[in-house]
Amino acid sequence: MSLVLRNLQRVIPLRRVPLRQRMEAVRSILGVQKFDLGIICVDNKSIQHINKIYRQKNIPTDVLSFPFHENLKAGEIPQPDFPDDYNLGDIFLGVEYIFQQCKENEDYYDILTVTATHGLCHLLGFTHSTEATWQQMYQKEKQVLEELGRRTGARLHPLSRNLF
């Protein structure tokens, strides 16, 4: 099934292939290649708007996830009955916000990947609302990014590493 990228913003010049290659690898590591996944790149204004509507937080942010399968247990791979339900949902990436947070020595596409991986973990039921759930999510992100690092040579750290 497909990974679909959309770039709805013009603030940050964005190449699609580097992000796709990394996220295809992440999907493969997580074992969810047979599911559709949307990654939508937006600017601060758009992600702030979405954040306000769905989370009542009127500020820009880095990532918002909209799962197709709700109430999954952390790490549970959905078992759909119908072909159309092989879909994980959509990840909105605040690429402008991420660019502003990106440090000089960091590769922008690596940081986009770290952020999208965090969003993908949310689509698979991981949360970080308590320390216990955060531990599970952190471990999963760490495992995925370490494996990605083995494949690409990049040293990547989970987005959720300093949450608790």
Partner 1 sequence: MLPLLRCVPRALGSAVVGLRPLLQPALRPCTRPFGLLSVRAGSERRPSLLRPRGPCACGCGCGGLHTEGDKAFVEFLNDEIKEEKKIQKHKSLPKMSGGWNLEVNGTEAKLVRNVAGEKITVTFNINNSIPPTFDGEEESSQGQKVEEQEPELTSTPNFVVEVIKNGGKRALVLDCHYPEDEVAQEEEGESDIFSIREVSFQSTGESEWKDTNYTLNTDSLDWALYDHLMDFLADRGVDNTFADELVELSTALEHQEYITFLEDLKGFVKSQ
Which residues of the chain form contacts with partner 1 (CB under 8 A)? Answer: 2-10, 13, 15-17, 20, 24, 38, 40, 50, 90
* Min separation Cβ 132 and partner 1, Å: 34
Q: Closer CB to partner 1, residue 7 or residue 133?
A: 7
Which DSSP symbol is given to 85? Answer: G
* Min separation Cβ 54 and partner 1, Å: 10
Q: Closer CB to partner 1, residue 91 or residue 145?
A: 91
Identify which of 33, 32, 64, 37 has the alpha carbon closest to the alpha carbon of residue 48.
64
* Min separation Cβ 88 and partner 1, Å: 15
In sequence order, the β-bridge partners of residue 87 are 36
* Min separation Cβ 49 and partner 1, Å: 8
Q: Closer CB to partner 1, residue 66 or residue 134?
A: 66
Token readout for 97 is 């916000």
Q: Closer CB to partner 1, residue 53 or residue 163?
A: 53
Identify which of 42, 43, 33 has the alpha carbon closest to the alpha carbon of residue 3.
33
Q: How far apart are the C-alpha atoms of 51 and 132, rounded to whole Å?
A: 25
Give all strands (DSSP E) within the chain, no chain letters.
3-7, 36-42, 63-67, 87-94
